[in-house]
Structure 1
Amino acid sequence: MTSRSLLEGQGVRQITGGLGTLDREVFEAVAESPSMLLDKAMPVLTRAADHSKLWFAIAAVLAATGSPSARRGAGRGVITLAFTSLATNQGAKRVWKRARPNRTLVPLVRRSRRVPTSNSLPSGHSASAAAFAVGVGLENPPLGLGLALLAGLVGLSRVATGAHYPGDVFAGFGIGAAIAVLGGRLVPPIVPAKLPSTEPLVIDTPERPEGDGVVLVINPASGSGTGTRVIDEVREKLPKAEIVELGPDDNPETVLREAARRAEVLGVGGGDGTVSAAASVAVSTGLPLAVFPAGTFNHFAKDIGCDTVERTVSAIRNGNVSCVDLVCLNEDQMVINTASIGAYPLFVQTREKLEHKVGKPLAGMYAMLHTLRRGTPVRIRFDNKTIQTSLFFLGNSVYLPSGFAPARRTRMDDGLIDVRILETGKRFSRLRILTAVALGRLERSPLYHEIQAPEFSFEAVDGPTPLARDGEVGNTYDKASFSAKYRVLPVFRPLL
């Protein structure tokens, strides 16, 4: 060994020895500090953190909240804690040998009741605390900050009660944080999408306190009789509005076009299929549209803020009109909500039937499994690639949340088409999709395709395929081309 190597070894030993001396001196300073706060709070806190009871309790509280990021953080925190505990107790503590501090220096009232027998380096309590705090913080930074402060106090409690040196605590913090960060690299946290926000396009429209010039076309039998109730409310609140009741043999589009000839405002009440026909007539005739929620689900009415008759009536009385987007299919048909191919309608029906009984996550899991088993796959070509899919969704404007359970739109004038596709033609695709759904990571799966663009088109590889539009199965198509019609439809709606 050269003299240089000897000198370097002596230098490392001197630094290590100096750090060890400093570590012991800091421990003694904390141990000998006369503090009622340390005497009372530290033993309680360190006992709460025994066997990670504190963190499991916090995870249960977070999981019970309505915040998706808090629930994801709770799951990530617990999983990270489990890996960290295993790595610390079965790995690090067996590698680094270090005796525990001299507990007699700590006041009796502050000493932990349980005397640890494992090596002192690193602190398992501190590693678990950092792992949980950083794990939660990756999904919800504000919660992570608060938990990091609590984790720091847990680390202090291990020194104050005589269980560890400060160096043990810092080593534990480093291990726990490193494992949490590594987990974040392997399974990246979900970053909520931020949608662009612009001012709505408001149209000057005269007030109509009694419904002058409004012609309402409505099916009394729609929504299991809801249409009749809507008719009664409109007659009472807008006495000058003309009401045209659709009969069982009437063609809604024909009746709507006749009504538009004498209307200043075209009103419609019925399912989304009827509303879609009315939207097409309103655009072609240049009339504003008033939508009354008389169908079963009323997706379009809800998304424009007209989920009650009173809201639509108020908008008509006050002359509140703004413009929303439509999607044009093959240049001759309008889509107000969604279009789909494959078994997407079956997926939605199954999920909505169960979600009120077992909750949306379990209902979505079952609906996905049911649909993947029962649905007939379709091969389509888009963007110069061919894939097989059983679930294809296309929406007018961007839907939330991300993933394959789009439920709502926060705006309807962004000029975009929202496309979600599940690819089912690859090896073990069903198992991979279900696993991703169970872990809440579907949107990161290579089998999931999400596109937001002003235009989208596809070609059915194996011949014409049926396409459902606004909840109703329509024609079959070899090719389908969709284009967003930006703010083309003026509608009566509450102004924000």
Structure 2
Amino acid sequence: MQSTSPQQRWPARASLAAAAASVLVLAVFAGLKTFALVGVGLAGTAITAAAIWWVLTRRRAARVPALLLAVAAPVSVLVLYAGAHLAWVVALAAALWLLAVGAGRRALGRAETTVAMPEVPASPVRHAVLITNPRSGGGKVERFGLREKAAAEGADLLGVAGGDGTQALVAEVAASLGLPFLVIPAGTRNHFALDLGLDRDDPSKALDALTDGVELRVDLGRAGGRTFVNNVSFGAYAEVVQSPAYRDGKTRTILELLPDLLLGHKGARLTARAGQTTFTELQALLVSNNPYGTGDIAGLGRRARLDGGQLGAVGIDVSSAAQAAGLLRGGRAPGLTRATATRVVVDADRPSIPAGVDGEALTLPVPACCELRPRALRVLVPRRRPGMRRALPPLDWRRLARLGLPHRGAP
């Protein structure tokens, strides 16, 4: 058995002790009321989840009572706890549980064998070609002849200030020419910049890479002939992206269209194959350039690395409040299927399907093939950047027990 260092062992033991103390506090101070406390908490969670589902699947005025219920349910739970003079018990137990989670993730993070993406010294930049695009996409790469200009003028770096969709277009050109690529996060979400560790609040910080930079080698995805740096979505979310109102009001458009898409989805019937995994009757499918964390079902979080050589695939089929609440369980939720593969093939009951490629609306013929080009892109980033800290791993209590509990031969 691999030895465990004190830096791993003591946080693991602290996590296990805090978790046990959390349960013990409830048992000692609440006694038989512990079961009632747990039952009330679970009921409140279920009601809140159902109310949120109602908000997502109803329109305008019908959302108001659901929104009120979503707020009233947790407040009522707290009032019941206070009325039983057990609010402090619940608060203490919750604090101990948060301590257990924090210490556990710290222990597992230190036990991780994976390392950050390798960095190599960057070559001096003498002739950079930078473009700006206040509106992502729009064919500006082709319109301005970026590929031809970069080759003819002897560029030794390509960079872009824009959103993820525009960055993907320029990244494709940089990869084809073998040039380093500079990301200036001037879009809305800037998810690619997030995973590179860049400062999204101050895009000008990305220019530090020109004077004190390092180079990363990252993977590129490709779907239906179109390069993507983050993900490509099919089904419900892709149909939202197709709406003409999406670009001018993304949140409002999603809220207006989700009811029709989630309840009785009328779009194409999707199936997909990702390695040995087959997805059927999908409501939505997200294929990402390297997988997102196991608790992330919508591609809103971070990827641990961008050079793992695998596509991530998340398929969702949700039709009830119970299944919607179950999505909070991440990878173990019913109606949620995960897989990793180097190739994902999406099929449907019609000749073409809408897709959202890094947030840009496209229509792809089926079968639509998503593939990965390992380490195809050279990315120039500042040596010091705020997002270099690795995301914490999900909790694995069995692994924590192996790290923290004494075993034969342990000191």
Corresponding residue for 1:339? Answer: 232
CA contact (8 A) 2:164 2:187 kept: yes
Counterpart pick for 1:353 among 251, 256, 265: 251
Counterpart mapping for 1:446-461 below 5 A: 446-461=334-349
Residues 236-281 of structure 1: CA deviation (Å, up to 9, x unaligned): xxxxxxxxxx9x8855465321332121111112222211111110
Distance 1:462 1:405 in 2: 25
2:135 is the counterpart of 1:222 = yes
Corresponding residue for 1:392? Answer: 285
Instruction: Pick closer, same or farther for the CA change 1:48–1:387 going to 2, 3 Å.
Output: closer
Corresponding residue for 2:306? Answer: 412
Corresponding residue for 1:202? Answer: 119
Alpha-carbon offset, residue 400 of structure 1: 3.0
Alpha-carbon offset, residue 199 of structure 1: 4.5
Amino acid at match of 1:270: G
Corresponding residue for 1:297? Answer: 189
Distance 1:446 1:47 in 2: 35
Q: Secondary structure at the match of 2:308?
A: coil
Amino acid at match of 1:337: N
Distance 2:175 2:29 in 1: 65
Distance 1:46 1:309 in 2: 52
Amino acid at match of 2:226: Q
Alpha-carbon offset, residue 315 of structure 1: 1.2
| Identity level (%) | 25
Q: Secondary structure at the match of 1:222?
A: coil
Corresponding residue for 2:100? Answer: 142
Amino acid at match of 1:445: A
Q: Secondary structure at the match of 2:283?
A: strand
Alpha-carbon offset, residue 303 of structure 1: 2.1
Corresponding residue for 2:370? Answer: 482
Corresponding residue for 1:213? Answer: 127
Q: Secondary structure at the match of 1:300?
A: helix
Instruction: Pick closer, same or farther for the CA change 1:447–1:313 going to 2, 3 Å.
Output: same
Alpha-carbon offset, residue 320 of structure 1: 1.6
CA contact (8 A) 1:315 1:494 kept: yes
Instruction: Pick closer, same or farther for the CA change 1:46–1:288 going to 2, 3 Å.
Output: closer
What TM-score do the two structures reach when normalised by structure 1?
0.50
Residues 8-63 of structure 1: CA deviation (Å, up to 9, x unaligned): xxxxxxxxxxxxxxxxxxxxxxxxxxxxxxxxxxxxx999658869x97xx99xxx
Alpha-carbon offset, residue 342 of structure 1: 0.9
CA contact (8 A) 1:201 1:487 kept: no
Higher relative contact order (CA 8 A, sep 6+): 2
Q: Secondary structure at the match of 1:197?
A: coil
Distance 1:143 1:434 in 2: 24
Distance 2:324 2:28 in 1: 40
Corresponding residue for 1:422? Answer: 316
Instruction: Pick closer, same or farther for the CA change 1:386–1:49 going to 2, 3 Å.
Output: closer
Residues 115-134 of structure 1: CA deviation (Å, up to 9, x unaligned): xxxxxxxxxx9xxx9xx96x
Corresponding residue for 1:313? Answer: 207
Instruction: Pick closer, same or farther for the CA change 1:381–1:264 going to 2, 3 Å.
Output: closer
Aligned residues: 297
Alpha-carbon offset, residue 372 of structure 1: 0.4
Counterpart mapping for 1:113-152 below 5 A: 142=100
CA contact (8 A) 1:271 1:294 kept: yes
Instruction: Pick closer, same or farther for the CA change 1:254–1:333 going to 2, 3 Å.
Output: farther
CA contact (8 A) 2:213 2:381 kept: no
What TM-score do the two structures reach when normalised by structure 2?
0.59
CA contact (8 A) 1:272 1:471 kept: yes
CA contact (8 A) 1:387 1:423 kept: no
Select the structure that is richer in helix.
1
Instruction: Pick closer, same or farther for the CA change 1:196–1:50 going to 2, 3 Å.
Output: closer
Instruction: Pick closer, same or farther for the CA change 1:196–1:326 going to 2, 3 Å.
Output: farther
Q: Secondary structure at the match of 1:201?
A: coil
Alpha-carbon offset, residue 314 of structure 1: 0.8
Residues 344-399 of structure 1: CA deviation (Å, up to 9, x unaligned): 24679799738xxxxxxxx99x9976640374342314257562122111111121
Amino acid at match of 1:353: T
Alpha-carbon offset, residue 449 of structure 1: 0.4
